[in-house]
Amino acid sequence: MAVTLTHLDDIAIATVDNPPVNAVNHAVREGLLAALAETEANPAIRATILLCAGRSFIAGADIREFGQPPKPPHLPDVIDRMEGATKPWLAAIHGTALGGGLEIALGCHYRIAAPSARLGLPEVTLGLIPGAGGTVRLPRLIAAEEALEMISGGKPVTAPKALDIGLIDALAEGDLQEAALDFLRARLDAPLPTPLRHRQPHAPRDAADWDKRRQRLHARARGQAAPLAALEAIETALKEPADLALARERDSFLRLKSHPESAALRHVFFAERAAGQMPRLKDVTPGPLTQIGVIGGGTMGAGIATACLLADLPVTLIERDAAACEAGRARVTDSLDGARARRLIDADRHATLLSQLATDTDYAALTGADLVIEAVFEDMDLKHAVFAALDAHTRPDCILASNTSYLDINDIARATAQPDRVIGLHFFSPAHVMKLLELIVTDRASDRALATGFALGKRLRKLTVPAGVCDGFIGNRILSSYRRDTDAILQDGATPSQIDQAMRDFGFPMGIFEMQDLAGLDISWAMRKRRAATRDPSERYVDIADTLCEAGRFGRKTGRGWYLYEDGKTPIPDPEVEEIARQSAAAAGITRRSFSDDEIISRILATMQREGEEILNENIAERASDIDVVMINGYGFPRWRGGPMYMAGHRNS
Ligand code: 3HC
Ligand code: NAI
């Protein structure tokens, strides 16, 4: 039974039990209707508490049903019946009340929530708008501005904030059911609150401010349908009668549900949940994670140390000398300062976390470490030396990980006597902010080592995607391949700004040339020089980037790269770069031509997809959707397009 009804004297308790997150499916909708019928018909019942079993209140409509034709009873009808009940319903919320779950709570006459609960309407993140009255009832309960923020941004609010803005009636300290009973008993003789649909909406406080919010939303939507549909639905709800607004909301929801944008976002939702799964690790127990070692306190090492500290994992950071230790500590302090500025931590926690960081130059300080992550310069001899030292100084059960971008970790593992404890943990910069983590599965890695890597990813709240050993793993390998292709398109006749603009129009936050200028051109130049001797001579090689580097154009940091930077940050197209591209084409005997934006994007996509297929064929990725997860979360591929492999026809399996 998805919904059961019990009684405590004259108060009924309707319990939804549909693990894992009580999503509203057909059975729950039917169960709620049956509970409504019984509570209305039974004269001994004076009020009903809606509670949920397990870890959460209702986390929304069941997304798995979205691909199928809707089956009655529909959620809006269930909520209408609840709202029209002659006896009060109270939603007692713990965990999360999301989407259809919050809409059900809005159909109840009262709402209380445990202090740790979160409430939200995240439908836009699935390419939808609320489809069961959320856009109509919410602005009739809370300020229009708060409603717009919650519905168009999709971000849940905490229970204390919900109380603050009037979304709930009370916080439930202690036992939720007891608090709900107390709350209702105190109101049994009070008149039934006016259902939200019969109330007046809260008009925006200030028309000019509302206009600004509207403009910001248009700018942020960048081609996506759902955020603008959310705005339209709320504006309809603010000026039209509730019945009309509810009907329009439903139409819009159903239209969006069958739109490719929502199908793509639903694919990503399930892809991200599938990503951390490796069947061979199903029954493997990870090692402990109480003390982490980090080797190298540069950009990545400091970011990784910060990420661990923020997850309450004490860190010992090893550097070359005392000055480098201090520089590493300063970088970690800076990152924690940033977290404090973003109000993720307060001053006390900042001090506590920093006290959990030890720095040293001696590997003997790592004897207590359960897992060590190496992030020294990208140099194989150095990595060998570091892993040999780690092998000598760490406990035999300590997991050893490298953060290398491109080097062969199987080779790195050979510097140790126990290659089975060596894995890759490829973080993305800034490591304490970016959600993606590639877990590199070396040939001889033990299941325990891999399971511990996944456990660390989970502890750091990363999306951990397994990848086999190859040049660049999943993400950097695909990036390298389409970077080579965009250089070729440039040589063939396009300009950096045209290619970047086409990519931005497609939905990337920035184009490939702007991105390289931001990261610096010198690092990949050094890599190309290292590989020059082993390059396949039959492969097309475009030398434009090399010519730029030879001229000292390393990107933003030198004021010139693919673009000019007069103010240090705004890219200005540079005729000199176009001239270099022209000369490069002439030297290669290429007659330049024009490109349409569509052709540019088709070529970039085709290259990503071709490389992705090879990655799959070589078993570097576990599943096609993992490649989508990597490209979306590490390389700015627009989420609402589902990822390159999804666009090539791969669906979640
Ligand atoms: N429908 C179907 N399955 C869902 C689901 C949903 N709404 N929400 C979560 N699940 C599934 C996940 O796929 C996962 O399944 P798996 O174990 O087989 O992989 C399982 O529940 C647990 O989910 P998570 O791994 O994400 O667990 P977390 O504890 O990390 O997060 C959560 C829980 C915050 C509830 C998160 O799952 C979430 O954000 N869910 C989606 C919420 C949402 O978008 N709701 C709106 C749906 S649209 C809607 O309601 C339309 C309405 O307006 C008509
Ligand atoms: P970095 O140059 O900023 O930092 C390297 C640090 O290693 C320096 O602080 C240096 O003092 C230290 N170091 C060098 N030799 C050492 C030794 N023997 N013992 C202890 N410390 C030593 O480099 P960055 O960018 O942090 O890169 C580190 C690694 O992470 C490289 O393998 C790189 O390929 C990889 N990586 C880099 C990313 C990036 O965006 N920068 C992203 C993902 C991986």
Q: What is the pLDDT of residues 282-321, one digit of tens each?
A: 999 999 999 999 999 999 999 999 999 999 999 999 999 9
Chain center to CA of 3: 32
Residue 653 has a pLDDT of 52
- Closest ligand 1 atom to residue 62 Cα is 1
Does the C-beta of 133 come closer than 6 Å to ligand 1? no
- Please give the distance, rounded to the nearest whole angstrom, from the Cα atom of residue 443 to the centre of ligand 1: 34
**Looking at the structure, do residues 251 and 364 belong to the same domain, yes or no?**
no
Q: Which residues of the chain have pLDDT under 70?
A: 652-653
| Residue that is written with structure tokens 């940033």 in the block | 338
Identify any residues that bridge with 159 across adjacent strands, giving them in sequence order: none
**Looking at the structure, do residues 426 and 507 belong to the same domain, yes or no?**
no
Q: What is the CATH number of the domain that holds 94?
A: 3.90.226.10
**Looking at the structure, do residues 44 and 181 belong to the same domain, yes or no?**
yes
Does the C-beta of 318 come closer than 6 Å to ligand 2? yes
Q: In degrees to the nearest 10, what's the CA dihedral of 555, 559, 563, 569?
A: 90
**Looking at the structure, do residues 465 and 484 belong to the same domain, yes or no?**
no
| Residue that is written with structure tokens 């977290």 in the block | 339
- Please give the distance, rounded to the nearest whole angstrom, from the Cα atom of residue 266 to the centre of ligand 1: 11
The total of other beta-carbon atoms located within 10 Å of residue 509's CB is: 13
If you take atom 28 of ligand 2, which residue's CA is the nearest one?
375
Residue 651 has a pLDDT of 82
**Looking at the structure, do residues 200 and 113 belong to the same domain, yes or no?**
yes
340 is a domain residue:
yes
Does the C-beta of 445 come closer than 6 Å to ligand 2? no
361 is a domain residue:
yes
Residue 531 has a pLDDT of 83
Does the C-beta of 409 come closer than 6 Å to ligand 1? no
- DSSP character string of 217-286: HHHHHTT-SHHHHHHHHHHHHHHS-HHHHHHHHHHHHHHHHTSHHHHHHHHHHHHHHHHT--GGGTTPPP
Domain that holds residue 283: 279-474
**Looking at the structure, do residues 492 and 413 belong to the same domain, yes or no?**
no
631 is a domain residue:
no
If you take atom 54 of ligand 1, which residue's CA is the nearest one?
131
Q: What is the CATH number of the domain that holds 585?
A: 1.10.1040.50
Count of domains observed in the chain: 3
User: Which of 413, 440, 474 lies at the terminal end of a domain, its last residue?
Assistant: 474
**Looking at the structure, do residues 444 and 481 belong to the same domain, yes or no?**
no
Note if 578 is an active site residue: no
- Please give the distance, rounded to the nearest whole angstrom, from the Cα atom of residue 560 to the centre of ligand 2: 25
**Looking at the structure, do residues 451 and 558 belong to the same domain, yes or no?**
no
Does the C-beta of 372 come closer than 6 Å to ligand 2? no
**Looking at the structure, do residues 451 and 567 belong to the same domain, yes or no?**
no
**Looking at the structure, do residues 325 and 200 belong to the same domain, yes or no?**
no
What is the C-alpha to C-alpha distance for residues 189 and 286, in angstroms, rounded to an integer? 56
| Residue that is written with structure tokens 């970088």 in the block | 331
If you take atom 25 of ligand 1, which residue's CA is the nearest one?
273
- Selecting among 30, 38, 65, 123, the annotated active-site residue is 123
Does the C-beta of 20 come closer than 6 Å to ligand 1? yes
Prediction pTM value:
0.93
If you take atom 24 of ligand 1, which residue's CA is the nearest one?
273
Q: What is the CATH number of the domain that holds 295?
A: 3.40.50.720
316 is a domain residue:
yes
Note if 319 is an active site residue: no
Identify any residues that bridge with 50 across adjacent strands, giving them in sequence order: 14, 91
496 is a domain residue:
yes
ipTM of the complex: 0.95
- Please give the distance, rounded to the nearest whole angstrom, from the Cα atom of residue 321 to the centre of ligand 2: 15
442 is a domain residue:
yes
| For the CA of 275, the nearest ligand | 1
Identify any residues that bridge with 438 across adjacent strands, giving them in sequence order: 426, 465
349 is a domain residue:
yes
What is the C-alpha to C-alpha distance for residues 495 and 575, in angstroms, rounded to an integer? 10
Cβ atoms of 286 and 455 within 8 Å: the answer is: yes
**Looking at the structure, do residues 90 and 29 belong to the same domain, yes or no?**
yes
What are the tens digits of pLDDT across the range 365-422? 999 999 999 999 999 999 999 999 999 999 999 999 999 998 999 999 999 999 999 9
Q: Which two tokens stand for residue 510?
A: 């920035």
- Please give the distance, rounded to the nearest whole angstrom, from the Cα atom of residue 403 to the centre of ligand 2: 8
Helix (H) or strand (E) segment spanning residue 594: none
**Looking at the structure, do residues 460 and 381 belong to the same domain, yes or no?**
yes
517 is a domain residue:
yes
Does the C-beta of 64 come closer than 6 Å to ligand 2? no
